[in-house]
């Protein structure tokens, strides 16, 4: 089997030194993209590592990307662990950065990163045993590569549209549709996804892809090709200390894969996305391993704190034994 690495980005928002540093670059106009919850640590990181050790023992390396912050419990002697600070791979002119888009767009500069890697956020947890073929098949990434209209529901939509503006400059919708229609309309996605994709057919431009907020597999070589083609936009995003509506994101690389047909369709049911307030639903999913992967997205309402408590509780029940990533 070819080597497959996992990459996870993390920040300890409770660190006073980090708080002081970020305060210097805090936006005067608070946005949903940059409020405090977007940096919040649930206290569940050790369970992320326990899940990886249990459900993906085949992983080659875990690249743990941080800003000079290392949890006291982390076992730095684990041969599968590589701690990477921002300064190790991000150019000095972009530092310090509190912009996840900037960090993720520079990921392939990490020394030693394998050609095949999977990019995680720290709110994405393996929830059952997974085979490497879930992420890569015949040396290509696996994904839900189909269309969906872009709905302007949040500030994050600006970044999605910026990605699409680039993609529409590079690709002709009708041509890629003709080349890859079997992948865009694969029955593996399920009827709901197919109906959504069908609504984009009357248009002559790509009006959106189905975006899964789940771990994404990438080829480093493709990542670098795309970032070179979009070098101006990558540079501008990297200059942004915090996320803003002019940024692009690493989803641009996935869109490129979809447009070139360099991927394999993923079967429905790979993962589920939940908000913290949906704790009754995600607790059952985690307990029963209903999904292979779950993402528990942060939110701000009266049920959020209860959601964090319930998440910690169910993860401790599921993963009570220390992993080799812990001291």
pLDDT of 159 strictly over 90: yes
pLDDT tens digit sequence for 91-141: 999 999 999 999 999 999 999 999 999 999 999 999 999 999 999 999 999
Residue 154 pLDDT greater than 90, yes or no: no
Q: Can you give the pLDDT at residue 305?
A: 85
Check residue 296 and give its pLDDT.
Answer: 95
| The pLDDT of residue 325 is above 60 | yes
pLDDT at position 37 over 70: no
The torsion angle over the Cα atoms of residues 319, 74, 294 and 220, rounded to 10 degrees, is -140
Tokens standing for residue 170: 């590079």
Q: Token digits for 43?
A: 């206290």
- Answer yes or no: are the C-beta atoms of 117 and 123 closer than 8 Å: no
- pLDDT at position 74 is 98
Domain ranges for the chain, please list them. 4-318
Sign of the torsion formed by the C-alpha atoms of 129, 145, 8 and 271? negative
Q: 226 burial class (0-12, 13-18, 19+ CB within 10 angstroms)?
A: buried
4-318 classified as CATH 3.90.550.10: yes
pLDDT, tens digit (0-9, with 9 covering 90-100), for 222-237? 999 999 999 999 999 9
pLDDT at residue 250, as a whole number = 98
């Amino acid at each position: 089997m070819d080597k497959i690495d996992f990459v996870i980005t993390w920040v300890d928002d409770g660190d006073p030194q980090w708080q002081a540093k970020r305060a210097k670059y805090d936006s005067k106009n608070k946005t949903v993209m940059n409020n405090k919850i977007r940096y919040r640590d649930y206290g569940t990181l050790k369970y992320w590592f326990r899940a990886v050790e249990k459900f993906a023992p085949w992983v080659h390396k875990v690249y743990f990307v941080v800003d000079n912050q290392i949890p006291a419990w982390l076992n730095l002697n684990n041969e599968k662990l590589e701690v990477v600070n921002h300064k190790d791979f991000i150019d000095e002119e972009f530092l310090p950065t509190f912009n996840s888009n900037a960090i993720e767009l520079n990921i392939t500069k990490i020394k030693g990163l394998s050609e095949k890697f999977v990019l995680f956020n720290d709110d994405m947890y393996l929830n059952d045993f997974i085979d490497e073929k879930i992420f890569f098949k015949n040396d290509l990434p696996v994904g839900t590569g189909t269309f969906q209209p872009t709905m302007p529901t949040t500030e994050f939509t600006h970044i999605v549209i910026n990605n699409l503006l680039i993609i529409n400059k590079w690709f002709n919708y009708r041509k890629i549709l003709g080349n890859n229609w079997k992948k865009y309309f694969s029955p593996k996605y399920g009827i709901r996804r197919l109906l959504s994709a069908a609504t984009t057919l009357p248009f002559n431009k790509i009006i959106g892809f189905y975006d899964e907020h789940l771990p994404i597999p990438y080829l480093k070589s493709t990542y670098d090709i795309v970032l070179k083609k979009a070098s101006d936009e990558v540079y501008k995003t990297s200059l942004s200390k915090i996320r803003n509506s002019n940024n692009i994101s690493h989803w641009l690389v996935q869109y490129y894969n979809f447009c070139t047909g360099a991927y394999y369709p993923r079967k429905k049911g790979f993962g589920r996305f939940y908000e913290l307030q949906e704790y009754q639903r995600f607790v059952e999913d985690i307990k029963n391993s209903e999904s292979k992967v779950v993402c528990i997205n942060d939110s701000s309402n009266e049920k959020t704190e209860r959601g964090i408590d319930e998440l910690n509780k169910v993860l401790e029940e599921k993963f009570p034994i220390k992993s080799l990533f812990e001291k």
